[in-house]
Amino acid sequence: MMLAASVMTGLLTGCDSARATVSRVVDGDTIDAVVDGQEQRIRLLNIDTPETKDPNADVECLGPEASAFLASLLPPGTEIDVVTDDEKLDSWGRVLAGVVLGDGRLVNAEMARAGLALPMQVGENDRFLPDVEQAHSEAVTARRGLFDPTVACTVPGQVDAVETAAAGLVSGATATTPEDADSAAIGAAAVVATAIALRSKLNSSVPGDALIWRAAHLVSDRSRWAARVVTSEARARSTVDGARDRARVLRTPPAPPAGGSSIPAPRPKPTSGGGGAVTSPTRKPAPAPKPKPAPAPKAGGGSGGSSGSGPVGYTGPRCYAPGGKTWKPC
């Protein structure tokens, strides 16, 4: 397709261009537009937006938002100027161009200004790169889109989330049960794992494929983000150690008192009464002492010889009669 030559006013001058009408937005950096009665697919030059259409990849952070923002700039029926650079088509047959609105705004730069696109050069095409880079710098300064810490999926959003999670960890050092201490350790360990993964990506010399990581590598804040993650990781590790120590203490039986036996004395077995009820053991009472027997009367006791014994109370010598049954004082 031959694009008519014209002189643009405003941001762009001296490029091949053509008037077109938007038919639909494909994603954050691609549209379909009708040029001279023929629909063409147009890839916006010098920007890259989060992926939404790749069948082999997940939808990226802020991909749907980028598509929605472009659709708000280019609703169907919008009249635009399509401005090309040195290389007119890519390997998929898409027209590589800048898209200019009727008020002179370069749509490519507006996507970067919203923080929803990164600067990118394709081949020798760099006509729109200075405008895109300027808009990108504005987005970084204003923390928009990919640089917004309030958006959970962005890199600064993930850094904030780890920092908040580490600050909110429940200490297990004062837990009253082993289960509570274990729970605190598990929660802190999850924060440690997240921090390690995030720190690894931030410290990598090669950004990941996702646009959020390429965005992180374009700003000086990356080193400060990494330092904050390291601090959060250290705090979470300390919580893990404290909780595990507490769990061990709670599971260790108390030591016996000094000088005492660690084996308790056996308790007496309860006895069962006649009605089946268990009664406490009782000691049997000591037997009462038996009464002493009265002394037997002495044989021959009495007074005088008639009784066969001497006088009562006599202690002198005794003279016994034959047979030894009676006696008298000698």
Catalytic status, residue 246: no
Element (H, E) at 241: helix 221-251
Percent of residues in the chain assigned helix, strand, coil, to nearest 5: 35, 20, 45
User: Active site residue: 19, 39, 41, 51, which one?
Assistant: 51
Nearest of 164, 160, 129, 144 to residue 62 by alpha carbon: 144
Q: How far apart are CA 228 and CA 153, in angstroms?
A: 17
DSSP state of 18: E
Q: How far apart are CA 306 and CA 62, in angstroms?
A: 145
User: Active site residue: 43, 113, 199, 246, which one?
Assistant: 43
Q: How far apart are CA 54 and CA 324, in angstroms?
A: 144
Q: How far apart are CA 310 and CA 330, in angstroms?
A: 10
Angle at 51 between CA 202 and CA 193, to 5 degrees: 30
Q: Are 57 and 51 in contact (CB under 8 A)?
A: yes
Element (H, E) at 19: strand 17-27
Catalytic status, residue 144: no
Q: Are 1 and 33 in contact (CB under 8 A)?
A: no
User: Active site residue: 60, 94, 222, 235, which one?
Assistant: 94
Strand duo 95-100 + 79-89: pairing: antiparallel
Q: How far apart are CA 56 and CA 78, in angstroms?
A: 32
Catalytic status, residue 79: no
The single-letter code of the amino acid at 44 is L
Phi-psi region of 223 (alpha: psi -120 to 50; beta: other; left: phi over 0): alpha
Any idea which residues carry the catalytic annotation?
A: 43, 51, 94
